[in-house]
Amino acid sequence: MRNDMARILISAEQIATRVRELGARISADYGDTDNLLLVGVLKGCAMFMVDLARAIELPLAIDFIAVASYGASTESSGVVRMLKDLDTDIAGRHVLIVEDIIDSGLTLAYLTAQLQRRNPASLRICSLLNKPERRIAEVVVDYLGFDIPNEFVVGYGLDHAERYRNLPYIGVLKPEVYMG
Ligand code: IMP
Ligand code: MG
């Protein structure tokens, strides 16, 4: 797998440090509530979600939602569809959406609109990565790990055609790997 990488963008150590910082900020900001619900956006959130949850020193619950985004391609279709809804009724809950990466912003624009209608007490977004150059839909990111350049990245939950999610770092894939 290492041979498919053009370079490592964010090391496992850098990720761990940033996750601890985010966990501390979230713990401070939500210190008054025993009502926090982390909503992970499958499947890319998986590694970030479990590490972040352990870095938050508050009582919390977790749930997951799945939406269709890219399929095997590296370009967004612009069409967002819900594949798996939450198990939890979020009315009156403090909801923090946990995402791997914000690219066009279309996924989160759709998700926040859907979840806002269910009357949560609050709704915020925590994303590990952000590609600001690619934004189409405006999204306010409350907690962000790293801004990254407009390159296709994999690892730490992020995939290309379902591969590379288990890499402990974030790497830039060699273009020939996805250009074929
Ligand atoms: P958006 O709707 O364009 O913001 O896309 C968000 C989703 O696209 C993310 O949750 C990822 O699943 C996927 N995505 C966007 N950029 C990348 C990337 O560089 N590597 C892997 N997946 C990506
Ligand atoms: Mg995703």
Query: How do residues 67-96 score in pLDDT, each as one tens digit?
Result: 986 555 556 556 688 999 999 999 999 999
178 CB neighbour count, 10 Å cutoff: 15
Q: Among 158, 143, 171, which residue's Cα sits nearest to residue 41? A: 158
Asked if the structure places residue 41 within a domain, the reply is: yes
Ligand nearest to the CA of 42: 2
Asked if the structure places residue 1 within a domain, the reply is: no
Q: Which amino acid is at 18?
A: R
Asked if the structure places residue 133 within a domain, the reply is: yes
**Model confidence, pTM:** 0.94
152 lines ligand 1 (CB under 6 A): yes
Asked if the structure places residue 176 within a domain, the reply is: no
130 lines ligand 1 (CB under 6 A): no
- Rounded to whole angstroms, the Cα distance separating 71 from 20 reads 31
- Rounded to whole angstroms, the Cα distance separating 25 from 27 reads 5
Amino acid 105: pLDDT: 93
Which one from 100, 103, 142, 159 is the annotated catalytic residue?
103
* Residue the block writes with tokens 């709704």: 123
Asked if the structure places residue 122 within a domain, the reply is: yes
Amino acid 153: pLDDT: 96
- Give the range of the structural domain holding residue 51, as residue numbers without chain letter: 13-149
The answer, yes or no, to whether residue 21 has pLDDT greater than 80, is yes
Active site residue 103: yes
As for how many domains the chain has, the answer is: 1
Q: Among 7, 83, 8, 20, which residue's Cα sits nearest to residue 52? A: 20
CATH number at residue 29: 3.40.50.2020
| % of the chain beyond a pLDDT of 90 | 82
Task: Look at residue 130 and give its three-state secondary structure.
Answer: strand
Asked if the structure places residue 177 within a domain, the reply is: no
Q: Taking residues 30-55, what's their average pLDDT? A: 96
Asked if the structure places residue 144 within a domain, the reply is: yes
Asked if the structure places residue 175 within a domain, the reply is: no
Q: Which amino acid is at 11?
A: S
Distance in Å, CA 44 to ligand 2 centroid: 5
Q: What is the pLDDT of residues 141-179, one digit of tens each?
A: 999 999 999 999 999 999 999 999 999 999 999 988 888
Bridge-partner residues for 147, per DSSP? 130
